[in-house]
Amino acid sequence: MKVHRSSLNGSLQAPPSKSYTQRALFCAALVDGESEIRSPLSCDDTLASAQALSKLGVTTLWNHGNAHVSRLGELKKPSSEIFCGESGTTLRFMTAVCATTPYDADISGGPSLLKRPVADLAHALQELGADCKSNQGYPPVHVKGPIQGGSAEVPGNVSSQYVSALLLAAPLAKIPVEVTIRGRLESKPYVKMTLDMQRKFAVQVDATEDLTKFHSESQTYRPSDVEIEGDWSSTAFLLVAVTIAGEQVRVGGLTQETLQADQYMLRILKRMNGRVSTDSSSVTVEKSRLEPLEVNVSDSPDLFPAICTLCAVTDGVSTITGIRRLRIKESDRVLAMSNGLKQMGIETRESEDSLTIRGGRPRSVIIDPHRDHRIAMAFAALGLCTDEVTIVDAECVGKSYPSFWRDLRSLGADVTAH
């Protein structure tokens, strides 16, 4: 895609939450019966989850903006390898779900997924009684359950998906499960979202206030009818685009009463002197002259590329910390953002856990987002401030926000396929 200097204006609806859709699909799959997911996000990652779950006998029908999930009887033995695309959530959740069955399952994925760690999750499932092996700590994974229960421990600073995966499986163990977090749990809001979705399916997992210990009795997931709220993670890139290259845009479908970590973007914009207003279900942003900031993103790491974009056009020096885990996402996001900004003439300096950005005037370049959806969206937003930025492999946004390019155009962005 070629992105040219533009001025955004208008209104649109936020895409549905990917994280909540993923959790709803997995909770519904653990129900012996039928559930309805209303307004789910249909994207590469959620379709990967539905396809993976189908190998266990779970049927997902996408129809009229809803997803109908059904399963009759026990989870089935997979007839072949379970492929998870490039979705880390799918891989980790599937590993735990397969560990609740008495069958052998082999779980794999695309090239970047094979570089994402899974060792600590495999070890925790072994502690709970499953046989779980990885390829030197990475996918493919072989797992055979069922888990029995007992105690397991995982680090809190690698991936909150480990914790969510264990919590999804824990109620299906024969005896109670205790999960302990080693060190500080990062990305806590994502674990809270998992607990929230489990409650909607009649499962209650108890947690200490600091989310370092979890307790689950043996329970049964019950059929549910759930509505998916708008996605703050994807919307962040629209809010950034308008702030740096817009007039005024209203984004609807965003509840203020949310557990999503990336609602934090509102606080970021306000701290940078951004012009933002909200009501109960929408956010309105206007073009703003921004001030630099220092911010820690350990609880909302997906915002890192969007925040980098803001800092790149700010008059001054900004520092983003808490970024260590971003090196093991779909790409090394720290390196991808730092190198891309340097290509555009923006000065950056990185350490293991921080990135410093000196704002400037970004210039026209060709950007390779390394097949990472959030990198592509970040540089697309920044491209609106340049004569021309070309994003290669632009279709990678389909991982989380398939309508991204269409939505940008609807607001007046000069974006052309190349």
pLDDT digits (tens, 9 = 90+) for 236-283: 999 999 999 999 999 999 999 999 999 999 999 999 999 999 999 999
In a domain, 383, yes or no: yes
What positions carry a catalytic annotation? 302
* Residues 211 and 280 occupy one common structural domain: no
Q: Find the mean pLDDT for residues 227-238.
A: 97
* Residues 214 and 245 occupy one common structural domain: no
In a domain, 106, yes or no: yes
Instruction: Give ∠ CA 16-415-395 in degrees, rounded to 5.
Output: 55
Choosing from 196, 218, 240, the residue where a domain stops is 218
* Residues 43 and 128 occupy one common structural domain: yes
Q: Find the mean pLDDT for residues 60-84.
A: 96
- Phi/psi at 213 (nearest 5 deg)? -140, 140
Residue 90: burial class (beta carbons within 10 Å; 0-12, 13-18, 19+) = buried
Q: Find the mean pLDDT for residues 50-63.
A: 98
pLDDT over 80 (residue 408): yes
Q: What is the pLDDT of residues 285-336, one digit of tens each?
A: 999 999 999 999 988 999 999 999 999 999 999 999 999 878 766 668 999 9
In a domain, 141, yes or no: yes
Q: Which residue has the tokens 């189908």?
A: 54
* Residues 180 and 320 occupy one common structural domain: no
Give me the CATH number covering residue 43.
Answer: 3.65.10.10
Provide the residue range defining the domain that includes 253. 2-15+231-416
In a domain, 224, yes or no: no
Evaluated on CA atoms 144, 194, 230, 415, the torsion sign reads: negative
* Residues 394 and 249 occupy one common structural domain: yes
In a domain, 269, yes or no: yes
Name the 3-class secondary structure at 185.
coil
- Number of domains composing the chain: 2
In a domain, 362, yes or no: yes
* Residues 195 and 279 occupy one common structural domain: no
Q: Find the mean pLDDT for residues 130-158.
A: 96
What is the pLDDT at residue 329? 64
* Residues 190 and 94 occupy one common structural domain: yes
Choosing from 218, 245, 274, the residue where a domain stops is 218
Q: Tokens for 111, please give them.
A: 């090239």
* Residues 118 and 76 occupy one common structural domain: yes
Strand order in the sheet with 150-155: 150-155, 177-182, 213-216, 206-207
Peptide bond into 146 cis (omega under 30): yes
CA-to-CA distance for 243 and 213, rounded, in angstroms? Answer: 40
Question: What percent of the chain has a predicted confidence (pLDDT) above 90?
Answer: 94
* Residues 59 and 205 occupy one common structural domain: yes
pTM: 0.95
What is the pLDDT at residue 326? 81
Q: What is the pLDDT of residues 16-32, one digit of tens each?
A: 999 999 999 999 999 99
* Residues 23 and 113 occupy one common structural domain: yes
Q: Find the mean pLDDT for residues 407-416.
A: 98
In a domain, 410, yes or no: yes
Q: Find the mean pLDDT for residues 196-213.
A: 97
* Residues 257 and 182 occupy one common structural domain: no
In a domain, 188, yes or no: yes
* Residues 119 and 243 occupy one common structural domain: no
What is the pLDDT at residue 328? 62
The b-or-e profile of 15-29 (16+ CB within 10 A means b, else e) is bbbbbbbbbbbbbbb
Q: What is the pLDDT of residues 180-203, one digit of tens each?
A: 999 989 889 999 999 999 999 999
Q: What is the pLDDT of residues 356-405, one digit of tens each?
A: 999 999 999 999 999 999 999 999 999 999 999 999 999 999 999 999 99
Question: What percent of the chain has a predicted confidence (pLDDT) above 70?
Answer: 99
Evaluated on CA atoms 16, 19, 25, 28, the torsion sign reads: negative
Mean pLDDT for the chain?
96
Q: Report the DSSP beta bridge partners of residue 68.
A: 36, 61
